[in-house]
Amino acid sequence: METSVCIREGRAEDVDMLEKISRQSFAKSWSRDGFLEELLSKNRTVWVATREALVVGYLIARPVLDVLEVLSLAVDPLERRCGTGSKLIKKGIESEGGWSVVQLEVREDNPDALMFYRSMGFEKVGRRHRYYSSQTDALLLSLVLRSAF
């Protein structure tokens, strides 16, 4: 890719691009209203990756005390393997500082995401049996940034 990707906070007008990327990325996508709710919520952090002002990826996270919980992360299929997912996670971590842990659930049958999170240093810390409606297990992944002790 010739131009670089920038990361900025998500805005309500990004909703259609977020929904589009989500539909391209997940068998079961969040609805447009679901994304709008996240974009307008004060308890959420939404970061979007843009290339030439076009949204090419997003990260939605929820701060819970000193834990940053990743609720959704996706990159436009044509933009993958260019470092955008990593940039979004790093922005989430650096945004406010003070996080002890970043954690998330990921489908056990999503090898691309598992490879991605492993490359970022996440480790498997648990399993939620039949977590998804398809009865697939979720793996609980965690990235420890600083010890709570």
Ligand X SMILES: CC(C)(COP(=O)(O)OP(=O)(O)OC[C@H]1O[C@@H](n2cnc3c(N)ncnc32)[C@H](O)[C@@H]1OP(=O)(O)O)[C@@H](O)C(=O)NCCC(=O)NCCS
Interface residue list for ligand X (CB under 6 A): 25, 73-75, 80-86, 104, 106, 110, 112-113, 115-116, 119
Cβ closest to ligand X, residue 39 vs residue 61:
61
Q: Is 80 helix (H, G, I), strand (E, B) or coil?
A: coil
Least distance between ligand X and beta carbon 29 (Å)? 10
Count of other CB atoms within 10 angstroms of residue 137: 15
Least distance between ligand X and beta carbon 132 (Å)? 11
Cβ closest to ligand X, residue 42 vs residue 129:
129
Least distance between ligand X and beta carbon 49 (Å)? 8
Which position's Cβ is nearest ligand X?
85
CA distance 128 to 107: 10
CA distance 101 to 126: 14
CA distance 107 to 104: 10
Cβ closest to ligand X, residue 3 vs residue 147:
3
Least distance between ligand X and beta carbon 19 (Å)? 14
Structural contact between residues 100 and 145, judged by C-beta atoms closer than 8 angstroms: yes
Cβ closest to ligand X, residue 39 vs residue 84:
84
- Give the phi and the psi of residue 88 in degrees, each rounded to 5: -65, -45
